[in-house]
Amino acid sequence: MSLFAKMSSGRRLLIGTVLALILFVAVNVAVGNWFGSVRADLTEQKLFTLSEGTQKLLGRLDEPVHLRLFMSSNLVESAPLLANYANRVREMLAAYERNAGGKIKVEVIDPQPFSDAEDRAVGLGVNPIPTGGDQSVFFGLAGTNSTNGKATLPMFSPDREPFLEYDLTRLIAELGQRGKPVLALVDGIGLMGNPMAQTPAQQVLVQLRQFFDVQLLTGDADALPENTGLVLMVHPQRLSERLLYTVDQWTLGGGATFIFVDPYAENQPGMRPGMPPANPSSTAEPLLSAWGIGFDADKAIGDPVNALKSQRPSGIGRPVEVSAVQWLGLRESAFATDNPALAELNSLFLTTAGSFTSTRDTTELVPLITASAQAGTVNAAAAGDPGGDPRILQAGIKPTGTRPVLAARIKGEIPTAFPDGKPEGSAHAGEQLKTSSAPLNLVVVGDADMLMDRNWIQQRRLLGQTISTAFGNNGDFALNMVEQMIGGAGLSDLRGRGVSWRPFEKIVAIEQQAQSEFLATEQALTERLQKAESRLRELSQQGGEGADLLSGDSVREIEKFRSDMLATRAQLRDVQYNMHRDVDSLKSTIKALDVGVLPALFAALALAFALRRPRQSVPTKRSDA
């Protein structure tokens, strides 16, 4: 007979428990060592998983990146709703570090009050979050590279949680490259300004120069500057075939290309001051048509829903306000708000804009900005005529039957616009691409005027200085899109993916049902209570000034209404209690299952297995005596 079999059941239980604990610890240590990097994201929207585009970007970082997460230890206590978000931020940063092949280092810092870490956070641009007390908490990110590159997310705002991966990837993309990216600009509308005419550079260009090395491309250029990150073509006209071929090959190779065309550019300078331009339209031909992108320069979009107001002369001797259907003031409903570059825009202003269609099966238009369903086409020349009457335009709108696409990202596969080979004299090196060889990073916009100051900035003189105030987000749109596109096609494809906090849908449904069932009763009882209180006040004042006693009937009626009022209050309390009873009952049940029933059930099963005796007795050695 074995020694273990001779032991009592109590001793066997004790030894089994000790061995189980040892095995538990050993398994956890082994799993931590062997499978420490293994993660399973079970969330519905894969909130903790990096997208394919982000992983590709991490694989081609040029610069090592050091990320410092400044997160106060009392953040969750001060703001409990940030608990899930804070956990997601830490998990996402750990995922970036794991997938970057040693190019990213993440450091979590707790900036205690009046410490060097707190001064460091503020110095790097991380904003303290006031909590209403004497102290503030920190929840932001600062990144640096091996040179002097710096980038900061001053605060992880819950409003931006759907775009957490986008914000982190954009920051890393900015730090992971050496020097400022080059922006190659084709300026056909006057963004650069004109010193001879004393016209300054437009604010869009001023903002772009803060973040990028903007280099101007002339119309006959046949090569892009070294380290080009994006080609920006604004109202392209009279470009040489050599330059068009260079842009064509750049785009087919996956290079970022941002094109603004226009059926009628009101801001295009004429040959002489005060004279209209001879040809105010641009189509970027032959590129767009060859790529399967339809753009009719003879038609502009008229939209009565988003039309701005304009003063026009009338037959009554004074101007009247009319809807200028060719001038569009677009709000959030017109934007693709799942795109991080447009998610926080409030308004865009476009004038005499055109629309795009797909003319090839392999070319897909992903709308970024659209007009309303009531919009249609109008004659572009009539729409751009400064002396024209918008009322005539509105009467002549031809509905398209869909929401016209004013700006779009292009996806799919596109062919070259030069199927017969490179133009004569082209210095473009390398074998010609006949079709796109990489994911496209191409965006087209149907209005070049939107980049000019007059379309989104108001200027006024104050104390001898010119003060500029933005009334639209046109500049933000351009800068956001350029930043997104320079980050690569992977960054451009990132979309909002939900938030880490989600309500209990069953509880929400029960609350809504309870409210619908008891709200009518509550309103009726509340009205009844108000009438009883009002009648009680009237009876109490019935005697008037100088009356000493109320009549017996009045006293009895007062008592009756007082009793009725108390009973109504009791009924009202019961109704309000019943509204929350089902929800509280469900919450209590869930807590009981989590805290009591399930652990007790598993403990009972474990104890039953431990105490279970063998079904057959253990054989013993018989004595020969």
pLDDT in tens, 518-561: 656 666 666 766 776 676 677 666 555 444 455 666 667 667 76
Instruction: Please check the confidence at residue 295 and state whether its pLDDT lies above 90.
Output: yes
Angle at alpha carbon of residue 559, lines to 558 and 562, rounded to 5°: 85
**Choice between 19 and 579, residue whose per-residue pLDDT is larger:** 19
What pLDDT, on a 0 to 100 scale, did the predictor assign at position 157? 86
Which amino acid, one-letter code, is at 47? L
pLDDT in tens, 84-127: 889 999 999 999 999 998 999 999 999 988 889 999 999 999 99
Confidence of residue 614 (pLDDT cuts 50, 70, 90): low
Average pLDDT estimate for 380-399: 88
Strands 150-153, 104-109: pairing kind: unpaired
Instruction: Please check the confidence at residue 38 and state whether its pLDDT lies above 60.
Output: no
For residue 465, give both structure tokens.
């200085």
| Mean confidence (pLDDT) of the chain | 81
Instruction: Please check the confidence at residue 504 and state whether its pLDDT lies above 60.
Output: no
- Integer Cα distance of 348 and 329 in angstroms: 6
Confidence of residue 579 (pLDDT cuts 50, 70, 90): low
- Answer yes or no: are the C-beta atoms of 583 and 503 closer than 8 Å: no
Going across the sheet that includes 182-187, the strands are 213-216, 182-187, 228-234, 256-260, 442-445, 405-412, 363-370
**Which range scores top for mean pLDDT: 392-396, 442-446, 582-586?**
442-446
What pLDDT, on a 0 to 100 scale, did the predictor assign at position 108? 95
What pLDDT, on a 0 to 100 scale, did the predictor assign at position 338? 87
Which residues pair with residue 498 across a beta bridge? none
What pLDDT, on a 0 to 100 scale, did the predictor assign at position 610? 58
What pLDDT, on a 0 to 100 scale, did the predictor assign at position 383? 92
Read off the DSSP letter of residue 597. Answer: I
Where b means 16+ CB within 10 Å and e means fewer, 292-324 reads bbebebebbbbbeebbbebeeeeeeeeeeebbb
Average pLDDT estimate for 242-271: 92
DSSP string, 30-79: HHHHHSTT-----STT-TTS--HHHHHHHHT-SS-EEEEEEE-TTHHHH-
Give the dihedral of Cα atoms 301, 303, 306, 311; nearest 10 deg. 90
Q: Which of 350, 351, 353 is nearest to 300 (CA)?
A: 353
